[in-house]
Amino acid sequence: MEEFIKTILAEEDHAWLNSTYDKLLVKMKRECARVGTMIPYSPRDGRYHDLDFGTTSEEIQKEGKSPLLCYWTNGFWPGMLWQMYQTTGDEAYREAAEGVEARIVSNLVHINLAGHDIGFVFLPSAVANYRKTGNPQSREDALIAAQALAGRYNSAGRYIRAWNDSEMMEKMMGGGVPMSGWMIIDCLMNIPLLFWASETTKDPRFAQIATNHAKTAQQYIARGDGSTNHIARFNPETGEFVDAPGGQGYGVGSAWSRGQSWALYGFALAYRHTGDESFLTTAKRTAHYVISSMSVTDWLPLVDYRAPGEPVKYDTTSSMISACGLLEIAGHVPEHEKRLYVQAALKMLRACDRKFCNWDPEVDSIVDGGTYFYHDPDGSNTEVPIIYSDYYLIEALLRLRGDSLFIW
């Protein structure tokens, strides 16, 4: 795959990749020295602050629901550090990543507060550590996390329930169905924790749950035109499908762009782990929808691909995730198909770099323009730097270079 990428990149693409990689080395070295074992989310005035999630922090604390160490994005900084350790061998990255991991294992103490996103927390931290170093404690911690995720499985509906009971989430997403009946597209990126657990323990139960969940997402969240719903809701007692509300996108029937990227990458990973061709077909169909949608916006990602033309709102998190997913798909298709996915990923990355990337080594974060959800009353979560944009940018760049650490 790496050799193929080298052959199809134009000279200017090679130059851009090499130049961007050089800037990444400088930026991340300085950022690692400043941030260390803090757990960042979005910078204020150019600086990360530990466990600072802005208004989200206040809402979580007000509800008394979740210690901030359990927040779903806490694995992305150590994931960035492990990727940088993979490409540089600099021990400072490994030491900082292990320091963060030592903090977030409190998720295992407050396991009732951890949600469906526990994969996002432990795959880029403990699983990455185990894959890279063989650390037995990291394996143990990640397996406990996998058991917690498996414990969320609803056998009647064959899905992993989303979120925990929360007045905040019900108000945001719409009530009417107990939250134990909700599944969301995001969880496709968490089930690789279960595939890994089966791989490392040789116990098929985890992979069976993951596969069943992906099949349910395929049936009720993926749409025939390649777009996806964000949420599907079921009667948690019978497993009967109820509805598909709008979620974090514009509304019912819209196409929230980050949801499309979770589907694109998540189904591609489901194919990697199972060999089920239907998952690859679904990933490709979603990829084609995303590619066609972004080709008319200069490869800049709108928050929702099926929303009114005004106001224009971007979400760079979606294009960075999509770029990684496209490169994953490229690794599984025949050679004559690879070019489409690699070149689309490059266009997304380069467009984002031109408009949204800040390579100043004295400023924390790289990618601006991330948007948490479409309907943002005060605008505080619209087009801002968000930590997972940076993670997926780094993963995509290193995938193109052929020296990324496989985490998922």
What are the residue boundaries of the structural domains of the chain, listed by start? 2-401
Our CA angle for 255, 233, 118, nearest 5°, is: 80
| Residue 186 designated active-site | yes
Q: H or E segment at 322?
A: helix 316-330
Q: Please state, for a pLDDT cut of 70, what percent of the chain lies above it.
A: 93
Section 145-150 average pLDDT: 96
Give dist(CA 148, CA 160) in Å, integer: 11
Catalytic residue among 13, 141, 186, 368: 186
- The predicted pLDDT at position 109 comes to 75
- The predicted pLDDT at position 250 comes to 97
Range 89-92, long-range pairs (CB < 8 A, 24+ positions):
90/29, 92/29, 92/32, 92/33
Question: What's the burial of 58, exposed, middle or buried (CB within 10 Å: 0-12/13-18/19+)?
Answer: exposed
Identify the DSSP state of 126. Answer: I
Confidence band, pLDDT 50/70/90 cuts, at residue 106:
confident
Could you give the residue ranges of the DSSP H alpha helices within 9-64?
Answer: 11-35, 55-63
Given a cut of 80, is residue 172 above it in pLDDT?
Answer: no
Section 224-229 average pLDDT: 98
Q: Give per-residue pLDDT as tens, 351-383.
A: 999 999 999 999 999 999 999 999 998 889 999
Neighbours of 64 (CB within 10 A): 7
**What is the per-residue DSSP string for 201-262?**
H--THHHHHHHHHHHHHHHHTB-TTS-B-SEEEE-TTT--EEE---TTSSSTT--BHHHHHH
pLDDT, mean over the chain: 93
Which residues make beta-bridge pairs with 234? 241
Confidence band, pLDDT 50/70/90 cuts, at residue 110:
confident
Could you give the residue ranges of the DSSP H alpha helices within 118-177?
Answer: 118-122, 128-133, 136-150, 167-173
CB 301 within 8 A of CB 257: yes
Question: What's the burial of 215, exposed, middle or buried (CB within 10 Å: 0-12/13-18/19+)?
Answer: middle
Separation of CA 159 from chain center: 19
Given a cut of 90, is residue 46 above it in pLDDT?
Answer: yes
Catalytic residue among 13, 22, 90, 117: 117
Contacts of 184 (CB under 8 A, 6+ apart): 116, 162, 163, 221, 230, 231, 232, 247
Section 31-40 average pLDDT: 97
Which residues make beta-bridge pairs with 135? none
Neighbours of 295 (CB within 10 A): 11
- The predicted pLDDT at position 70 comes to 84
CB 353 within 8 A of CB 315: no
- The predicted pLDDT at position 60 comes to 46
Least confident stretch, 67-76, 252-261, 324-333, 396-405: 67-76
Q: Please state, for a pLDDT cut of 90, what percent of the chain lies above it.
A: 85
Question: What's the burial of 385, exposed, middle or buried (CB within 10 Å: 0-12/13-18/19+)?
Answer: buried
- The predicted pLDDT at position 278 comes to 98
- The predicted pLDDT at position 64 comes to 43
Give dist(CA 216, CA 160) in Å, integer: 10
- The predicted pLDDT at position 79 comes to 98
Confidence band, pLDDT 50/70/90 cuts, at residue 111:
low
Section 75-96 average pLDDT: 98
Q: H or E segment at 198?
A: helix 192-201
- Please provide the CATH number assigned to the domain covering 2-401: 1.50.10.10
Tokens matching residue 3:
């050799």
Tell me the whole-structure pTM to 2 decimals. 0.95
Give dist(CA 204, CA 196) in Å, integer: 10
**In angstroms, how far is the first alpha carbon of the chain from the final one?**
18
| Residue 117 designated active-site | yes
- The predicted pLDDT at position 8 comes to 85
Given a cut of 70, is residue 63 above it in pLDDT?
Answer: no
CB 253 within 8 A of CB 224: no
